[in-house]
Amino acid sequence: MKPLKKNYQFFIFLFFYFLIGGFFSITNGITSDEFAEQQNWQINISAIISFLKSGSYENLLNYGDRYHGIAFHYISQPIQFLLHDLVSKINGLSKFGGYLVSKHLAVFLIFTISGVFFYLLSFKLTANKNFSLISTILYLLYPYLLGHAQFNPKDIPFLSFWLINSYISLTIIESLFKGEKINKYKLLTLSFLTAFLISIRIVGVIILLQYVIGIIVLFNIKKIEIKNFIIKNLSISFLFIISLLLFIFILNPIFWHNPLEIVNSINWMSKYYNDICTLTLGTCMRSLNLPSSYYFIWLFFKLPIIVILGISLFPFVEKKIFNDKSRCIYYSTLLISFFVILFIFILKNVAVYDELRHVLFLVPIIFLLGLVNLYYFNIKIFNTLGIAVIFFFIMENISLNPYQYTWLNSFAKFTDIEKNFEIDYWGVSNKNLSKKIVDYSNNNLVDENICLYGDIFAKELITNKKFSCFKRYNQLDAAKDRPLFVYKNMRQVKRSNPKDCELIWNETYKYSFYDKKISVGTAWFCN
C-alpha cells in the first residue's frame, strides 16, 4: 500500500467521488433484479435460521433460485437497515422501496473501494503515480461501469472483489518470485475473499484458474523446478485450500446439507434458464445460444476508444512491458486470464445476457491493460488523451444520468443506437415515468381508483393514495376498464404503443456529439 501514502490528491478525489456518486445512487430508480435479490436473501436467511434450529431447510431446497449467492448481502443488509427510512423520505418511496434503493449505496461503496485496488494494480504495472491516478479516475468515471455502480447488486460487487483478489493474489506471487516469506494472514485473507467472491456468484471459481495462470507465469519467468516448489510451499498451499473450502462452505447455506451441491450450482448457473434476447447490432441474440461474435461486438462498442487504441498498440510495447520480470508477472497473468476466461465462456456456451453484465468483471482487466499499453507507447500521448477523456466522461455522465450503464462509445454513434442496441434493460426509468404520471394525475384531478400498468415496482415508487391498483404492462391487453395510466420501459419499449392513449411523457437522454435523443420509456393516459 506504499503508493497510497501521502497521496492526498487521490483520496480527495475518492471522497468527493463517493459523496456525489453515493447521493445519485440512492436517488435512482428501482432496477429489475432488486426484488429477486431481496427475495433470495429472505429465503436464505429463513433457511439459515431453520437449519440452526432443526437441521433442515426445505424452503431453500425447493426454491427455484437456490444457487444464487448471497455473500454481498452480509455487507448491504446492515446499510439497508440503517438507511431505508431516510432513503424512503428523500425519494417519496414506500418503506420496502426505500429498503431496496438503500442497497445502491452499498454497491457504490464497494465500487469506490475497487478503485483503490485498480490504482494499486496500475502502480504495479508502471511504478508511476501520475499514470495510476489518471487511469483510476478514468476507471471510476467510465460511464458504463459508473452506471452499473449506481445500483447493480450482483455484477459490480463481483467485479470489485475480483479486482481485490487479483491484486492480493498477484502480490503473493510476486513475493514468491522475490523469495520472500509468505504472510499466512495475507493468505487467509485471500482464501476468505476468494470464497466471498464465489459466494456472490458461483462463476467466481474461475478466479482459481487465474491464480494457476499466475503460478505458471512465475514458473516460466524464474525457471522454478516444480517439484521443489511444491515441497517448499506445501504447508501454505494446504492452508489456502483447506481454509478456502471451509469459507466456501460457511458462506453458502445451500451447501450445508451436501457440499457436492457446488457441482449442481456451477451447472445450473452456467445454463441459467432465462433465455433472454439481447439486441446486438440489430440482431436478437438469445442468451442460451450465443454466437462467439456476441462478446467481441459488445467489447468493441462498450470499451472507450482510448482503451481500444491501447490494445492495438500491444505489438509496439511488448518488449518495454516484459523487460521487468515483476511487471511481467502482473501483466501476463491478467492478459492470459482475460482471454482464457473469455474463451471458456464461449466454448461452454455460458448463458449471458444484458450486454456484458455477466462478464463485467473482465472489463476492468482489459481496460487497465489497454491504458498500460498506451502509457508505454508514449507517456505524453497517454497524459493528453487521458485528461481529455476524463472531461469527456464527465460530460457523458451528466448527459446520460441515470442511464450511464447503457453507454456506448463513439463508434456506436455512427449507427442508429435505438435500433441496434439495448436501452434501459434495467428499467431505472420507472422513477421518472411514475413521477410524470403522478404530476399529470394531480393536475388533471384523475379518479383515485385508476389503475397503473407498468413494472412490479410502480407501487413502491408511488406512495400517495391516489393509486390503489397496480398491474404489469403485459396485463394491459386484458384491461377492460378505463381510464388508466401506462408506462412502458425496459425491453417493452420495442412493443407497440397502447391504443387510443395520450402520450404524457417521453423519457429521453442524449449522447454528446450524437444528434438523436434516445427514448428509454414513455408514459400514457388512456381515457
Arithmetic mean of pLDDT, 206-221: 95
Domain residue ranges in the chain? 29-406, 430-526
Question: Hey, which of 239-243, 349-353, 439-443 has the most confident mean pLDDT?
Answer: 239-243
Contacting residues for 339 by C-beta, under 8 A, at least 6 apart: none
Distance (Å, whole) CA 338 – CA 343: 9
Residue-averaged pLDDT of the chain:
92
Of the chain, the percentage scoring pLDDT greater than 70 comes to 98
CB 91 within 8 Å of CB 98: yes
State yes or no: pLDDT of 492 exceeds 60: no
State yes or no: pLDDT of 240 exceeds 70: yes
Q: Can you give the pLDDT at residue 494?
A: 60
pTM: 0.94
Arithmetic mean of pLDDT, 433-438: 91
- Among 31-35, 181-185, 447-451, the minimum mean pLDDT is found in 447-451
Q: 64-87: per-residue pLDDT in tens?
A: 889 889 999 999 999 999 999 999
Number of Cβ atoms within 10 Å of the Cβ of 81 = 11
Dihedral, 39, 43, 44, 47 alpha carbons, nearest 10: 170
Distance (Å, whole) CA 379 – CA 127: 13
Query: Residue 208's closest CA among 165, 242, 250?
Result: 165
State yes or no: pLDDT of 4 exceeds 80: no
State yes or no: pLDDT of 273 exceeds 70: no
CB 262 within 8 Å of CB 255: yes
Arithmetic mean of pLDDT, 498-504: 91
Confidence band (pLDDT; 50, 70, 90) for 350? confident
Q: Can you give the pLDDT at residue 425?
A: 84
Distance (Å, whole) CA 133 – CA 245: 37
Q: 190-209: per-residue pLDDT in tens?
A: 999 999 999 999 999 999 99
Q: 282-307: per-residue pLDDT in tens?
A: 898 988 888 999 999 999 999 999 99
Arithmetic mean of pLDDT, 114-126: 97
Arithmetic mean of pLDDT, 217-226: 86
Q: Can you give the pLDDT at residue 450?
A: 86
- Higher pLDDT: 501 or 449? It is 501
Arithmetic mean of pLDDT, 395-410: 94
Nearest-5° angle of CA 330, CA 335, CA 339? 150
Distance (Å, whole) CA 289 – CA 275: 8
Arithmetic mean of pLDDT, 301-315: 97
State yes or no: pLDDT of 106 exceeds 60: yes
